[in-house]
A and B are shown apart, each in its own frame.
Chain A
């Protein structure tokens, strides 16, 4: 019996984090529902026991149903039948297993039939689903859209949609259009209020919509006629049962082929307004995107896990020159680096998830009662960290998913290039991860403030102030050196930017990645103190970090202000 939770000690380790006590306490509001619902936890231990049990179910569904279906789904893919999406047969089976196992509405409150699980558990399940089939993760993971409704929609909308999501309704977020991709402010899909029907009506086209024919769609639309920018956009929710949206086509993609990416035509499709008008992009989509980025972080880490396992398995089985290839230094080095990156990305993923979780819970609590001064401060503190760490985890994990998928094929040699092993599918699936929900380049834009405003450096200093076990002292000493280099780089770039605007943008990725390498190494060093399993990974990761930071440092410190123009010259190419 394959179980993607029981077979993954690293995942289980992160569930045991000391901050879980605080997280569970916040999420359960002091176990206020223990006598109201027959499945509500009585106390912390009871809650943790339930999380473990449910994650084991998720692990079993992933290992026994979703993973075995992945290849068939990749080949078969979804189709358009009568203007609607028909999933691949394996996807239908996956959905049935998910619904039977009750793995929907994971984080939603119990009053909407949700499990009221912490985000940490959702991210874990997300990661396991992605390890089984990254494409299916999109369909399952989009249930997270319901969190945006839970946070911002009226009680009436919540009552209508959230229990449906808990029962297995699938979601979509309809944001992008042919002329509005990364630049969502340019969205043109029109929403007009119909006095006659007493509803908003949607008209226009959406493109590249993941699971576009989902039951519940959050649609970004222009409610303010005559406007052309973000301020004229609102968020609306559309119920598939009402009709009015046709799937014009499903994109033929390189990877995640089981996940239908749709072009949608809205013709007088009725929809309800979520929250306030004109706040669509400015407030709600930003919240949606932050959650989605964490989702892609989980999807990427799950993909890293799949790639690493495929590579390890093959390297053990494949013999050349009379021994398994894992015993050749070149291969064992690749595998060691893959493992360190996998564990490093996961460490960053759960650190970020905890930050997001705490501030989100305070946000919800603040809707129920006014927060104490101390709580408000804490909420601000974690919000700031979450804002910096979310693009960082998206950036690192999605790049690692690609690197590990690449290495997995490399380890398979010629066989890896054939369609005979899962590594080729993983490679194709990984390719979208550093593109959608904001490309890596845009994650850098989102994270650079955390460099220049000191969020990362302050957090690095907090990590540095922690105590580390004896065997990690050389790693910590190295991290202090690297941190000093980071400070030098930041100073050089900031002063350069004052003289030559654009200098900061030019070096932004090098700075963000340097911060990330330091942070991940600290996280692994901290874990090494609690579990021996991480000692090697921390030692290996610090070498990767040192190499990468050395390169970035050399580049930044030797860069002249003229480099900005040097790299702009290409704009004149014809």
Chain B
């Protein structure tokens, strides 16, 4: 594998839906972002670990994070830098608001064309949307091969990666030429912790709009002085997009209705492998429109 390999990790800041309280949803049925802490999407952390372990194995490789989101999404870029990433790109602007997966992958692919990475690694899916579409869509838009459900990079060859995939029925090992997009499962190794020395070094890293928001703060002054503390920020215009394909206008997904699913059964039902029991289960699932 060539030196100075450029690895970019696609990551998303998401509301923490894992420990939801009563106020997690608004009366309108959308996620109440104010009530939930914003976190690094868990599978994107697995992706970051895969990227960092690749960097550990290839001298001169760099890892940078690309995230699209509001200014505060810079938090996850800093978090990634604390864990070992070299830096990051924040793609931010009103034009991107309301993006579905199609508009998101379009915007990310525009930014990625600017960055020109050799390997793109993303988490399988975010915990807020659970679509698992953005990674594969980015690969399609960039015309790159993709490996989904990746768990481990088994081998690094001259111009390809050998990757183990975790599938529902077992594992599969595939070889893929680079540049490529890899999306990573939660079964991959967990991300390494934030590192004390890196936290102290990079805690003042800021995106340009953060510096502009409070230019007189000590943090902003330090960030402005030192290039390694500057998180690259792209506005829409910086990545040469077709405005029609951005944000709400570029998002064909329309939410028709949201239903709350309420579990009615109080207890689990135990079935044996007998034909008649399986038959009765099938009848029940078809009757409830769970199947068919």
Q: Which residues in A have some Cβ–Cβ distance to B below 8 Å? A: 38-42, 46, 49-50, 53-54, 57, 60-61, 65, 97, 100-103, 115
Contacts and interface: CB of A to CB of B under 8 A. Distances in A.
A49 B204 CA distance: 11
A362 B195 CA distance: 30
Interface of B: 192-201, 203, 218, 222, 226, 228
Nearest to B192: A100
A57 B197 contact: no
B200 A57 contact: no
A101 B198 CA distance: 9
**Interface of A, helix, strand, loop or mixed by DSSP:** helix
Nearest to B83: A100
A102 B201 contact: no
B193 A54 contact: no
Given A60-B193, A61-B193, A102 B203 contact: no
11 contacts: A38-B226, A38-B228, A39-B198, A42-B222, A49-B203, A53-B203, A57-B194, A57-B199, A100-B192, A102-B197, A103-B196
Given A38-B201, A100-B193, 19 more contacts: A38-B226, A39-B197, A39-B198, A40-B200, A41-B200, A42-B218, A50-B200, A53-B199, A54-B196, A54-B200, A57-B193, A57-B199, A60-B194, A61-B193, A65-B193, A101-B195, A115-B196, A115-B197, A115-B200
**Interface of B, helix, strand, loop or mixed by DSSP:** helix
A46 B201 CA distance: 11
Nearest to A61: B193
A102 B195 contact: yes
B170 to A, nearest CB: 25
Contact of B194 (A41, A50, A101): A101
Contacts of A42: 218, 222
Contacts of A39: 197-198, 200-201
Nearest to B203: A53
Nearest to B16: A1
A71 B200 CA distance: 33
A102 B201 CA distance: 13
Contacts of B201: 38-39
B218 A102 contact: no
Most chain A CB within a 10 A radius of its CB, from B193, B194, B195, B198: B193
A328 to B, nearest CB: 31
B220 to A, nearest CB: 13
A38 B197 CA distance: 9
Contact of B198 (A41, A97, A102): A102
Contacts of B226: 38
Contacts of A60: 193-194
B203 A57 contact: no
Contacts of A49: 203
A553 to B, nearest CB: 49
